[in-house]
Amino acid sequence: MYSISRNQLKTYLMQQNSATNANSEDGEVSTFEIFKWFVAKEKAIYNAINMMKARHNTYIGFIWAPTSKEADIRQYLAQYPATEFMKWNYQKSAGLTPPTYFKSNELLAFH
């Protein structure tokens, strides 16, 4: 059985970290940072899929959007022939209230 001290392990991991990032020069992104971005992107994709409803071989996603953005949403989704936009009347469904929406202006802009 081989044992290693905490300091030896720390030194070893630091060496491995340096070796992994040896090919990145100053100003470039490290390999670990790229993996971190990849994992965050995958997590976001699966999170979005988990919020959708599965129906047969498709997924259905519901979004709240201001009525003024309906034309923009339809135009964007028109790029994808497999998508379908259906306006849903939430007032007929009991217990659903749309989120609060404030149209942004100079006073409400976040900087």
Q: The tokens of 36 are what?
A: 């971190």
Give dist(CA 45, CA 58) in Å, integer.
16
SS3 26: coil
Over 90: is that where the pLDDT of 42 sits?
yes
SS3 55: strand
Over 70: is that where the pLDDT of 60 sits?
Answer: yes
Burial label for 42, CB within 10 Å (0-12, 13-18, 19+), is: exposed
Q: What is the pLDDT of residue 61?
A: 80
**pLDDT tier at 92 (50, 70, 90 boundaries)?**
low
Give domain limits for the chain.
62-111
CA distance 18 to 13: 9
Q: Give the pLDDT score at 111.
A: 58
